[in-house]
Amino acid sequence: MGGYLVVGAVGAVVTFLTTFLVRRIAPRIGAVSMPGPRSVHTYPTPSLGGAAMFLGFCAALATASQLDQFRDMFDSSSEPVGLLLAGGVMFLVGAVDDLRPVSPPAKVAGQVFSASLLCLFGVTMFYFRVPFASYDYIVLSPDLAVLVTVVTVVVLANAMNLIDGLDGLATGIVIIAGTAMFLYSDRLLKAGLLDSSNIAPLVAVIAVSICVGFLPHNFNPARIFMGDAGAMFLGLLLAVTTIEMGGRTADQFSGQTYFFFAPLLIPLVILAVPLLDTAFSFLRRLIGRKSFHVADREHLHHRLMRLGHGPRRSVAILWLWTALASALALIPTYTDRGNALVPIALAALALLLFTYFHPGRGDGESEVPGDGLPGAGLSESRLPDGRHRDEEAPDAGLPDDGLPERRSGDGVVQLDDRRRIRDGAG
């Protein structure tokens, strides 16, 4: 456990410190998210926080490679190299999209390429256990293993990108879910169901650590956004943890028989919030016959805000749902008692009631303009170029100081907003 603490500390500290630097550099290279009809923020905010996350990841991975505790992971496997290369590709694809619009097909192609690098270096699923089936498990053929791996990476990368709609939301979800996935993978390791060279617990710790370092900059009111570069990169790390943890053991583990869970389904339960949001988004567009890349205002956080919750409270509610889903998946691995689920059921009921019948506001948090009325402040219209909250308008004018110019209705440049982004403040 000591090695994980060291790696986590390095990842968190490096991410926290380098985020200050990214906050200074981002406005000068045009990586700024401007307010828009679908925005929660009301002033220009630096993006490309994923750069600090990637640097923290590299530092943490380099630290782990020098520790004896992780020697088997680096000496007997090419998977860490594949993770580094795939992570770099995923980060670059998102960073390009943060700086200049990238078409959805091109972005997906980049995600597939990143996932293909993982497969090339051996990061693939081996087994797939099907709950309620008459057979124990499926041994994936090489071709099918690659397909399942690529789909997992693409789905989770886009799931994290879609859920990243409020300050600190995606960061906190990864902290909670990543911690739960580390605990579960550690249980599998100690039970002898995962090989000592399995990188799942290490990747989970690194994902949590870089989010811990980034969250102080990203919590409401955010001073910087992670952008597509950060969201997609986090999705990749969660996908690798899921693949290595859920697709590498064909044996049952304590609690799985009781819940009829396959090992692969446990991380999916932990990641229920972003995955459900993605599934609902897909079905909405399918039923409404809309293009899948067109933004809307029907995500989970949008619905919570229409119920009257402010940005911070909406984030807290989704964090709590993630924590409850994680507890639901973890408790069977620590106890065989069926009544251990009773507290979770009661907590879920209480949270559900609070979500719909919450007390009146009064906590002083900033709200979306006009969100006191259903749908107000969350107009269906988008930025002129059709891009969402965290995407910069490609033709935004730049004054001499390199900061995006923003004008009010009378044409006066909002100098206070430009000072905010110049100073990296929020």
pLDDT tens figures, 127-171: 766 655 555 667 778 888 899 899 999 999 988 888 887 788 889
**What pLDDT score does 345 carry?**
83
Asked if 154 contacts 113 with a C-beta cutoff of 8 angstroms, the reply is no
pLDDT single digits (tens) 275-323: 777 777 777 667 767 666 656 565 666 677 767 677 788 888 888 888 9
Q: Which residue has the higher pLDDT, 3 or 140?
A: 3
What average pLDDT does the chain have? 76
If you average pLDDT over residues 403-423, what whole number do you get? 42
Q: Which two tokens mark 101?
A: 């619009």
Q: What's the rounded Cα separation, in Å, for the pair 306 and 188? A: 41
pLDDT single digits (tens) 224-265: 999 899 999 999 999 999 888 876 665 555 544 444 445 566
- Mean pLDDT lowest among 57-66, 92-101, 227-236, 378-387: 378-387
Instruction: Please report which confidence band the pLDDT of residue 84 belongs to, taking 50, 70 and 90 as the band edges.
Output: very high
**What pLDDT score does 356 carry?**
78
Q: What's the rounded Cα separation, in Å, for the pair 420 and 324? A: 37
Q: Which residue has the higher pLDDT, 221 or 306?
A: 221
Q: Does residue 20 have a pLDDT over 70?
A: yes
List strand residue ranges (DSSP E) for 115-269, in order: 127-128, 138-139
For the chain, the first-to-last Cα distance in angstroms comes to 37
